[in-house]
Amino acid sequence: MKDATPLKNRTQPLRVTRNLRSEVADRPFFRSIGYSNCWEDPEILQEALQVGSGDVCFSITSGGCNTLDLLRHDPARVVALDFNPNQNHLLRLKIAAFQTLEHGEMLELLGIRESTRRRSLFRKLEVALPGETRDFWEANRVLVERGVMVSGRLERYLLAFGNLMRTIYGGKRIRRFFDCDSLDAQRAFYEKEIDGPLWRVIFDLFFSRAVMSRTKDKEHFRLVDFQDFGKIFRARTEHAFTRIPLRGNYFLALILLGHYLDEDALPAYLTRANFDLMRERVDRIEIVTGEIEQYLVSLADDTFTRFNVSNLFDWIQTPIFIRLHEEIVRTGRNGARMANWNTLLARPIPAEVTQIERLAIGAELLERDRAFLYANLEVGVINK
Ligand SMILES: C[S@@+](CC[C@H](N)C(=O)[O-])C[C@H]1O[C@@H](n2cnc3c(N)ncnc32)[C@H](O)[C@@H]1O
């Protein structure tokens, strides 16, 4: 068992050595709920991080899914950090659902099961929420009524694409795609029923730089100097359609069908089988609202054993990118592991930071990543 001392008791006084700040924190995208799911595959994250009993994890909150999923592997603590307070309100709502609702009620509240009583389910769990989180959800009642899993800006964009696909191809045909029982069958279905000039034009437009910059905020792509986003994402989607079993791909089901395939094909942290375990462990999460640039420098040396950094290095300028890796080394224990994705530009762990050994497994893991949106997965181990 690794050190299970609660972080709260070990954190030292602030040691701000330099005023690091995020350059994108004030963008409008981050004032709403940007993501109500993590579009990063938690099975791949676990293969990269190998979280086990007693680990002390750092995890970007985002939609909360992967922070929650880490609990399945029995860490002692997980610190969930996000500079967007709304992402943390979402995570607190998901945690309160585990604490106060039954499994079926939780699926209803989140928007996974049909429901006409989300308001009253919210009333049932609101006692478990801190005041500011309750106020946020009161002010955003419509998101609760719609089901929070489909309420993020990114989800509305991706689901709009699925809607368009069902309009063009027919809902029954898209649903039949998920019945393919082998990769050969998926490939044949894709070639015969989906691929063609119309698919390519619509896809390339919908996922063009111009459209994505309007939906996700152009600052996500501030370091990317090429334009052909559509073709890149289309190639990745084709990979997911033809090389990864569709049946278990709840990411694609949510996009294309607008809902998960069924309750046997949910993200693992939401399944009935894991519900009691999750309920027991959700209080191991400590939620922090702040910028990674400021948070890491405020921590004591040797705090964490695992780092889930999502894809937030995508838009961070090189000097701060290097500095954050140095902070990961300082705040990580010897042998700690880190993982992060890159969406369009591959940004390897900087060579200047010699105390992180870059592992080659990232490329192989990416081939199997059901969330399929990324150019690169970095996995590293701290040797100090
Ligand atoms: C990195 S984003 C990406 C999520 C997902 N990979 C995607 O593209 O759909 C995940 C979260 O990081 C948060 N975030 C971005 N930059 C941050 C920073 N410098 N410090 C703390 N949180 C940050 C955002 O608010 C967001 O909720």
In this structure, which residue's CA is closest to atom 27 in ligand 1?
62
**C-alpha dist (Å) from residue 283 to 58, 96, 128, 287:** 15, 10, 12, 10
Using 50, 70 and 90 to split pLDDT, how confident is the model at 226?
low
Q: What domains lie within the chain, and their CATH numbers?
A: 7-142+267-382 (3.40.50.150), 153-257 (no CATH)
Distance 34 CA to ligand 1 centre (A): 9
Contact at 8 Å (CB) between 354 and 382? no
Distance 62 CA to ligand 1 centre (A): 6
Distance 310 CA to ligand 1 centre (A): 7
In this structure, which residue's CA is closest to atom 3 in ligand 1?
311
Q: What percent of the chain has pLDDT over 90?
A: 78
State residue 28's pLDDT score. 60
State residue 377's pLDDT score. 97
Task: Determine whether the shortest distance from the Cβ of 186 to ligand 1 is under 6 A.
Answer: no
Contact at 8 Å (CB) between 206 and 229? no
**C-alpha dist (Å) from residue 62 to 33, 134, 179, 289, 297:** 9, 19, 31, 11, 21
* Distance of alpha carbon 239 from the chain centroid: 20
Is pLDDT at 3 greater than 70 in this prediction? no
Is pLDDT at 18 greater than 60 in this prediction? no
Distance CA 79, CA 214 (A): 31
State residue 206's pLDDT score. 82
Task: Determine whether the shortest distance from the Cβ of 376 to ligand 1 is under 6 A.
Answer: no
Q: What percent of the chain has pLDDT over 70?
A: 91
Distance CA 52, CA 32 (A): 34
Higher pLDDT, 17 or 67: 67
Task: List phi, psi (to 5°) of 256.
Answer: -80, -35
Is pLDDT at 11 greater than 70 in this prediction? no
Strand order in the sheet with 332-342: 285-289, 77-82, 56-60, 304-308, 332-342, 376-382, 356-358
State residue 4's pLDDT score. 38
Higher pLDDT, 375 or 229: 375
Query: Three-state SS for 379?
Result: strand
Which residue is it, tokens 């592997």? 73
Query: Three-state SS for 376?
Result: strand
Is pLDDT at 229 greater than 70 in this prediction? yes
State residue 38's pLDDT score. 97
* Torsion sign across C-alpha atoms 18, 303, 351, 223: negative
State residue 372's pLDDT score. 86
**Per-residue pLDDT reduced to its tens digit, 71-109:** 999 999 999 999 999 999 999 999 999 999 999 999 999
Q: For a pocket test of ligand 1, which of 59, 60, 65 has the largest count of ligand atoms closer than 8 A to its C-beta?
A: 60
In this structure, which residue's CA is closest to atom 18 in ligand 1?
291
Q: For a pocket test of ligand 1, which of 82, 215, 295 has the largest count of ligand atoms closer than 8 A to its C-beta?
A: 82
The average pLDDT across 288-299 equals: 95
Q: For a pocket test of ligand 1, which of 36, 41, 310 has the largest count of ligand atoms closer than 8 A to its C-beta?
A: 310
How many degrees, rounded to 5, is the angle at CA 168 between CA 167 and CA 170?
Answer: 65
**C-alpha dist (Å) from residue 284 to 8, 77, 79, 139, 374:** 11, 5, 8, 28, 29
Task: Determine whether the shortest distance from the Cβ of 292 to ligand 1 is under 6 A.
Answer: yes
Query: Three-state SS for 103?
Result: helix
Rounded mean pLDDT of the chain?
Answer: 90
State residue 155's pLDDT score. 93
State residue 1's pLDDT score. 34
Is pLDDT at 6 greater than 50 in this prediction? no
Contact at 8 Å (CB) between 70 and 267? no
H runs (alpha helix) in 130-222: 131-139, 141-146, 153-169, 171-177, 183-189, 197-206, 209-216
Query: Three-state SS for 82?
Result: strand
Q: What is the pTM of this model?
A: 0.91
Task: Determine whether the shortest distance from the Cβ of 155 to ligand 1 is under 6 A.
Answer: no
State residue 57's pLDDT score. 98
Task: Determine whether the shortest distance from the Cβ of 312 to ligand 1 is under 6 A.
Answer: yes
**Per-residue pLDDT reduced to its tens digit, 121-176:** 999 999 999 999 999 999 999 999 999 999 998 899 899 999 999 999 999 999 99
**Ligand 1 atom showing the smallest separation from residue 63 Cα:** 27
Task: Determine whether the shortest distance from the Cβ of 63 to ligand 1 is under 6 A.
Answer: no
| b/e sequence 88-109, b meaning 16+ C-beta within 10 Å | bbbbbbbbbbbbbbebebbbbb
Task: Determine whether the shortest distance from the Cβ of 257 to ligand 1 is under 6 A.
Answer: no
Helix H or strand E encompassing 342:
strand 332-342
Helix 131-139 and helix 85-100, axial crossing angle in degrees, nearest 10: 100
Distance CA 40, CA 57 (A): 17
State residue 269's pLDDT score. 98
State residue 210's pLDDT score. 75
* Distance of alpha carbon 171 from the chain centroid: 27
The average pLDDT across 216-242 equals: 82
Task: List phi, psi (to 5°) of 247.
Answer: -50, -40
